[in-house]
Structure 1
Amino acid sequence: MSDAPKDRDLVPPKTPADDLPLPAGLLLGVDAEELYLYFAESGWTVGVTTSRGNEVPAGYAHKIDRIRTDLWSLSEGSALVRQLDEALAQVPAIPSTSTREEKFQEAREAQEHLRPLFADFVTEVALRLPPEILPWYEVGVFLAQVHVCLDVLASPDAGTVEWINEEYVQELHRVASRFVISLHEAWDSTSSSSIPPVLDRSLRTLAQRLEEPHENSLDAYRVKLMCSNDVFTEMGMTHSSSNLAFLYSVARRKAETTEPEAETRDPQTEVQQRWDECHELLLAKEYEAAEHGLHALLVTARRSLGPRHHLPLMIQADLSMALMGLGRVPLCIDLALDAVDDAARLFGDRHPLTATLAQGALWKMVITDRPTREIDELFQARLKWLLNTDDAELSEDLRLVRHGVLMAAQDANNRRGAVRPEH
């Protein structure tokens, strides 16, 4: 399937009247697939080409946050979060100085690179999900695909692009069958009493409509589209979209114009300002708000500044601090150590940024009482060299880092003799 812009989001997720939660995995499947459709298909291209530029719509920023939250609850979730962030980091920032035609061509070329990254992420999530969650995750994935096809085919604008109708009719046949099969598997694996009744009825109605003999008419597609919309409504989700053919043709026309582009803010300035705001929340011990803001900012920073910039690593270190404040210690330490490893790989073992991040990770490990072996491994691998170097050979920044290491070592030794620095 290609070129399918979507913009659906929670409003927030509502609790059904009977107080039953959504089946675990269903929302994650929808979010993961729609994220793929946005970045790997025309939604992102249209945004880059038009006035929105590189900014990700709020609905998708929230979607990314929800995916992370769901993944972090899994035993192997941190690896999946890293995979997602690596894919997002490769979404290029199209220069604002480029013409619309240049932006359009660059975005279209980038999609070819992004498509397998996000497709692999959707697949990898499925491979790592517990058996009790996987069936509903697959229902969510195919539900999103079904809705894309119906949304396109139910619009008269589809006829303005020749390949639209034929390609999406074929795709609807494929994904409708997969959706129905996945839904029956999910029903078989879940007690009917644990599914919100209204949602269950909406899913059954949609499945019945999709199993009806195919009728290639605008009215038939619109009836099925209404049924799929009912499912999203019962999930607490709203959906706003413009038809693919219309969006694509608008983007194409705008790409061929020569109207001047509006000035945009420097990405680093924007990221720095938002980071300062999040850091203030940390200092005020408003950890939940800081965590939410830093999650979103980390994705933005990686996308707009690139993987070799220092700010995403510093933001990740702050995110680990917020998680520590919330008592989520294992994930806090994982993120802190990942930032150290990334800095060493990108900038070198003895770069001030690497040392700063390593000192911060060491401090977090000490005050959260991590095992002596883990603390000593970090010290030996990343910080011992600093204590064995003469003052004259160190910059002011590195001398400050060394002082922090000595303080952490003293604290550790006071607690349980975890770190024994050697000169």
Structure 2
Amino acid sequence: MKNKIHSMKWRIWKTAFEIFIETFLGLGLLLAITFILQKAGYISNPNKVYLVLDSNKTTLTDIRQTMKKYPYDFIVFDRRTGKIVASRYQKNDKDNYYLAKVKNKSYINGTTSYTISSNKLYSLVIRQNSVPEFTNPVLRKFSYNQISYIFLIIYESLIIIIAIYKLIHEISKNFTAIQKIALNMGNKVTKDYPKSKIKEFDTVLKQLYQKSNELSTLIETERIEKEDLSFQVAALSHDIKTPLTVLKGNIELLELTNPDKRQLEFMESMKNSIQTLENYFNTMINYTKLLNLNSISEEINLNEFIKELFLELTDIAIVNKTNNRLKVKTNLKKFHANVPALKRALINIFLNACQYADKSNPQVSVTVTEDLKFLWFEIWNNGAPFSEEAQVNAQKLFFTEDKGRSGKHYGIGLSFAQAVAVRHGGTMIITNLVNDGVSVKLGIQKF
């Protein structure tokens, strides 16, 4: 059977209606209990009873038989002797009966009245309360009205708490369903999404599951395209290597023919161009490998990683005739990352820093810090600041200010570093420091 779906407004009104109906039922229950207790003689009826004693016919036995029908306390006085000849009363209440007898008229004390009726032989004083009370002497210490109020307060509190809890539980259940699909967004959903009885939640769930399937399809399509790109780049690199190898062989043969100075310059230029092509395709292959990177959960010892990394960076600094230094400002021992990808990204940033450092006194530094969420690698150089265009586009694939692509800058290094940071749940920040060079910070999640 298909579940009926209603709006949130309807659901809230339903809760209010449930509270109203259950309150009405609670009042009915209290009245029913009161009625049953009255019939059973456990509480008195607030309706007053006035008995008229017939001067000739009413005997003491008649009075006793009549008072058995009522739950009221009473005292029968003998008018000649003034003694009590029949009774049902509490000792602490005795003076009130005598007061009514002496005055020979009804007497009211608070909500309690002492009604007197007399004939020639007897005086009957009946104690009656205008509010219900227990007939049992022990229970009479407790006000039946107060007990009724306490019952209603507790009952009302319970039905409100239960009704609101049911509403909150239903809403919470829907939010949990939304949270579940949101946290698994992009995964293929093969079964029907959990239906909600609230229209607004059901619409959101339906859209989320639909978008999750669409995103899953897009991710799968992207994965296939990346694999295809990686394959094509690798195949292209392989195809290019064959003619490059032939060119290098021909250059070597030409060098054996005793070429003149100008020919040697041409051959040297050809060799440099071949090397540029090889470097370019090797860089492209590294980038496409990153596109298919899945596992980044390897636990790494930070000190060992920094030690190995700095050895490689020092070699790069020596080749580029750059002064470099290392600062470690963290006590972190372990972190999770893909070592080859992270190392390549940091080397790319460092190499870029060396190439753009001040030519007269090139300075580059590496600083390792952390905050609550990220492990940061900051690479600084004392070169000229990034241009406005470069700051905006430096992280884009193939962007370079070296329009001629001299062989040093392919527009892949910083894009690769940015992609590595994103794959590790982090980011890369480029900052121009006022009169103090350029800082590139790569941050990754620590765990």
Query: Could you state the TM-score of these two structures normalised by the residue count of structure 2?
Result: 0.17
Find the structure with the greater CA-based Rg. 2
Structure with larger RCO (C-alpha < 8 A, sep 6+): 1
Instruction: State TM-score, norm by structure 1.
Output: 0.18
| Greater helix proportion | 1
